[in-house]
Structure 1
Amino acid sequence: MKNENITRLTISGLMAALCYVGYAVFPAINASGTKIHLGNAFVVLGALLIGGLYGGLAGAVGLSLADILSGYAASSPRTFITKLVIGLIVGLIAHKIAKINESHKNSYIIKWSAIATVAGLGFNCIFEPVLKYVWYTLLTPDAEKATAAIAALVALTTYATIINAAINSVVGVILYNALRPALYKANIFPVKASA
């Protein structure tokens, strides 16, 4: 049990660092106020490897830190919430519904890791602009930003958010399914994942 906790904590720290790198270091495209980056792929990877709570918290910490250090400190609380929710959704579907940590065929693992990833990042395409709208209408009123958030929601977020979700889904699923056999062989995986 102690070794599992140390392993989970270590992987959480690694995922937080990779989320930061995926956002702040890798080249990114800024489009219509949304940055296309690879940070969310590591949120997904963390949730698939160690469960939604730990993977989501790792992503929330790593990407909130990236916001703060990149000059977007005001958006870091929203980032924390959205990344945690992505991790929780991915973890719930992957570990509680599909039980991907149990012995299954590779095709089953690929299918369910893809379903969980698309569900988490797809939900984020709707949740993020709704959260921005609520944030700018109730918590920190700013009519201009609230209007922009609702316009993004009406337009089914923006093309950049959808492109970001698609790219991060593909990268996250590929990384997970590439790492999974190596981690089993090294006897590091499976760590009992939490939802």
Structure 2
Amino acid sequence: MNTKILKIVVIGLMAALCYISFMFLQIKIPTPGGFTSFHLGNTFCVLASLLLGGVSGGVAGAIGMGIGDLLDPSYVIVAPKTIILKLGIGIVTGLVAHRLFHIQHQQGKALWKAVFLSTLAGMLFNVIGEPIFSYFYTAFILGAPDNAAKALASWNAITTSINAIIAVILSTILYMVISPRLQHVGLLKKIAPKE
């Protein structure tokens, strides 16, 4: 199979996993400024970035969770914010994983450490960026009152932090479980970014 077609197929698969885990594995929380939620979508955005590289992984997350927002009346107005933030998670995770640690060449404990720190970097970007971006987006783009924007941002900080912890743990474990199998059949080399 052509490598470009294979990569597009895997991006689509990861986008679907982001969508499913965001839409169906979530707990919505209403706040005065809108909705926030606990979900597993970021897990697959980060996993996609580990497998495919930053931009491709971020695109998968942005597509999957962006579509999730667009199809849910509670979130449709924040879809642009989601798309930007998920692309950012992917880029940061992929940059650290593939440019700093070169995870394709790591093994054993060094690989565990590199994958863990890469996922942590992507989620740290989200933990910092989500509440800040949420406040400015809600207050200035959507025109919500300042107290409502602050309430949503503070709830987002809590849910984003919990989502981040879950995503770091699950995506690290998932990558460590599936990467040897993908490498064994030659797929990892075909879909991972070229150095």
Per the TM superposition, whether the score is higher than 0.5 is yes
Q: Which of residues 69, 75, 78 is equivalent to 1:75?
A: 78
Residues 89-118 of structure 1: CA distance to partner in whole angstroms, max 9, x if unpaired? Answer: 00000001001122x222111111110111
Alpha-carbon contact 1:130-1:149 (below 8 Å) kept = no
**One-letter amino acid matched to 1:18:** L
Q: Which residue of the partner structure matches residue 60 of structure 1?
A: 62
Q: Cα RMSD over matched residues? A: 1.9
Q: Which of residues 29, 33, 43 is equivalent to 2:27?
A: 29
Residues 38-59 of structure 1: CA distance to partner in whole angstroms, max 9, x if unpaired? Answer: 1110000100000010000110
1: CA distance between counterparts of 2:18 and 2:119? 16
Shift of 1:30: 2.9
Shift of 1:34: 2.6
Alpha-carbon contact 2:36-2:155 (below 8 Å) kept = no
Aligned: 1:127 with 2:126: no
Q: Which residue of the partner structure matches residue 12 of structure 1?
A: 11
Question: What are structure 1's unaligned runs of at least 5 residues?
Answer: none
Aligned: 1:193 with 2:183: no
Q: Which residue of the partner structure matches residue 93 of structure 1?
A: 96
Shift of 1:36: 1.0
Aligned: 1:166 with 2:165: yes
Q: TM-score, normalised by structure 1?
A: 0.89
Q: Which residue of the partner structure matches residue 149 of structure 2?
A: 146
The count of aligned residue pairs is: 188
Q: Which residue of the partner structure matches residue 47 of structure 1?
A: 49
SS at match of 2:143: coil
**One-letter amino acid matched to 1:124:** N
Alpha-carbon contact 1:60-1:81 (below 8 Å) kept = yes
Shift of 1:149: 4.3
Question: What are structure 2's unaligned runs of at least 5 residues?
Answer: none
Shift of 1:194: 6.3
Alpha-carbon contact 1:91-1:194 (below 8 Å) kept = no
Residues 19-78 of structure 1: CA distance to partner in whole angstroms, max 9, x if unpaired? Answer: 00101123x223464311111100001000000100001100100111111222101111
**One-letter amino acid matched to 2:64:** G
Shift of 1:128: 0.7
Q: TM-score, normalised by structure 2?
A: 0.89
Deviates more, 1:75-84 or 1:63-72: 63-72
Residues 110-145 of structure 1: CA distance to partner in whole angstroms, max 9, x if unpaired? Answer: 111110111111221110111112213332321243
Identical-residue share of aligned pairs (%) = 35
